[in-house]
Chain A
Amino acid sequence: MPENDAHADQNWLQQLQQNDEQALAALMKKYYIPLYSYGIRFTQDEALVKDCIQEVFISLWQRRDNIATVLSLKYYLLRAVKNKVLKSLHQKAHKTAIAQWQEKYDFFQEFSVERLIIEKQVSEEKAVALRKILSQLSSRQHEVIYLKFYQRLDHGQIADLMNISRQSVYNLLHEALQKLRGLWQAEFLTK
């Protein structure tokens, strides 16, 4: 899929360069859910996220001539949405230091524990324990997990998006997974 997908995106970008507005619309439809999903991790303000996504696509349209070399369009868009959202939040809050809004932000994450109980037949007891472990993860660990397992980005892309090294990505993931592992290990040993 990833190769086909990259190929499909390349086709859309070519259409975009021929001033095809429908290609822009198609790309927005294709990526709206992952982009919106990412955007609302940083703020609860839904309208703000929607406006940011609008701006990202407007700028994609304006820069369409220089965009053909983008390797992963999804990564490019996620990055643009993150920057836009954090920037608008920063402007709203009248904070100053640029480094601050790029480094320090909250990352909200809802794991659907209910869905686990219903779809995967996980016991309620286990689900409660799981929720507890997840709530102990740091904001950065949440973001790494989210980008890796929901957005399915590779470690290099995650590192770039979060302004950290690949080793840090690995460490954050490893640590989070160790905690999760403890929960399931007990179950598998007793079986």
Chain B
Amino acid sequence: MKDFRLFDITDLVMDEDFARWVYEQRPEDEEAWRAWLTKNPDKHLMVAEARSILESICIAPPVITAQEIQEETTRLLQTIQEQPLPIPGKVARMKARSWYIAAAILVACIMGSLFFFTNLQMEKEPFTWEKMTASRQLIEQVNTSDKPVTIALPDGSSLALAPGSRIGYANHFDSSANRDVYLSGEAFFEVTKNPDRPFRVFANEIVTKVLGTSFTVRSFENDTTIQVIVRTGKVTVYSQAVTNTRRSATDHKPGEVILTPNQQLVYEKAGHKFQKVLLDDPLLIVSRVAEQKMEYEDASLISVFNELSKAYGISIVYDSELLEKCTVTADLKNETFYHKLDLICTAVGASYEVIDGQVVIQSNGCQ
């Protein structure tokens, strides 16, 4: 944080960080500013006044509907498709590219396989709600309020649908082989266990498959990423390109990612890439009671890591030979996951990195 003590009201109103706090209301800013005010109680008045000034600058968003924006986007795409490309070098390259596509289609025809067709189509059209649900008769619910809405599904599962989100499921949901729901936006699911009937969430090009667990899927059409966050249980995530083509052909499923608790999957729509990350604040997956025992005296480091790993469901990777002789004396009750790691690593002179959803410990060992 800058030294805001030296700021006068106008400086404060003009400060970008201050404006971000007032306008965007992010929790991290809220915390930082509350803390600053506690330390500087004499500045309450100034901050309140600066806030009032900023809030009074209330500029109305333009009067334009989503429908109009959609029409304008369609108009733009039509124009650029009709217009020949003006730069000559560009045209040549485009021609080469169309030949390439033509060749690919020809090959595909000869092979008599649908594989390439589906793939080409895949790249051209993005997944939209309409495309995802057009051929299906669904019961749809849209949350137009500003709070999450809880929706109970016929199989006893439930979901909290975030504002501005939409969910659809078949009216024969309870009698089909799979429990399929279609999501645009964000929802937190709590799925009742049923190993015979997988529960699948279709969110744009991503399918999340579970047997029984709780997790969040976030997939707004305008976002560049799709996110899946797991709180309990295990979920499988794959791209629809895989379900449509390769999956039936082979048992090996290339685009599939398995997520365990406290892991988050980020799918970049543009690059069709999956990335596994850990949540910023992992939660315990075992009961609080187990955490109460996390007090160690001369305990073997490896056993501490094992307990930690179990408590959060996060794998911790280390060289067991190197760490064999390390011992820890620490009280890890009521600390966050990362703080626990920090404490342990400081104690034994090690460091850690989070790579692909796993914690990797680096250490030179102990004497």
Residues of A within 8 A of B (CB): 1, 8, 11-12, 14-15, 19, 21-26, 28-30, 32-33, 36-37, 40, 50, 53-54, 57-58, 61-62, 65, 109-113, 115-116, 119-120, 122, 130, 145-146, 148-150, 152, 154, 170, 173-174, 177-178, 180-181, 183-185, 187-188
Contacts and interface: CB of A to CB of B under 8 A. Distances in A.
Interface in B10-46: 10, 13-14, 16, 19, 23-24, 45
A145 B45 CA distance: 23
A62 B87 contact: yes
Contacts of B156: none
B195 interface: no
A58 B85 CA distance: 11
A58 B270 contact: no
Contacts of A173: 14
B55 A120 contact: yes
Interface of B: 9-10, 13-14, 16, 19, 23-24, 45, 48-49, 52-62, 64, 69, 72-73, 75-77, 79-81, 83, 85-87, 90, 94, 97, 124, 126, 222, 224, 268, 270-271
A125 to B, nearest CB: 14
Given A62-B86, A115-B60, A152-B19, A184 B53 contact: yes
A29 B222 contact: yes
A111 B80 contact: no
A36 B48 CA distance: 32
A57 B78 CA distance: 12
A52 to B, nearest CB: 11
B48 A188 contact: yes
B59 A150 contact: yes
9 contacts: A12-B270, A24-B77, A28-B76, A36-B64, A58-B76, A111-B58, A146-B59, A152-B23, A188-B48
Contact of A58 (B52, B80, B90): B80
Given A24-B77, A54-B75, A111-B57, A32 B64 contact: yes
B145 to A, nearest CB: 16
**Could you tell me the dominant secondary structure of chain A's interface residues?**
helix
A188 to B, nearest CB: 5
B267 to A, nearest CB: 13
B75 A25 contact: no
Given A22-B126, A58-B79, A149-B54, A188 B62 contact: no
A12 B19 CA distance: 27
Contacts of A116: 55-56, 58
B72 A32 contact: yes
Given A11-B270, A65-B90, A21 B77 contact: yes
Nearest to B85: A62
B56 A184 contact: yes
The residue among B9, B13, B64, B224 with the most chain A CB atoms within 10 A of its own CB is B224
Contact of B73 (A11, A28, A65, A185): A28
B336 to A, nearest CB: 23
Nearest to A7: B224
What are the 3 A-B residue pairs with the smallest beta carbon separation, nearest first? Answer: A112-B60, A37-B62, A150-B59
Contact of B60 (A110, A145, A177): A110
Given A28-B72, A145-B57, A185 B80 contact: no
Nearest to B26: A1
Nearest to B221: A29
Contacts of A130: 56
Contact of B94 (A19, A21, A111, A181): A19
A154 B19 CA distance: 12
A26 B224 CA distance: 9
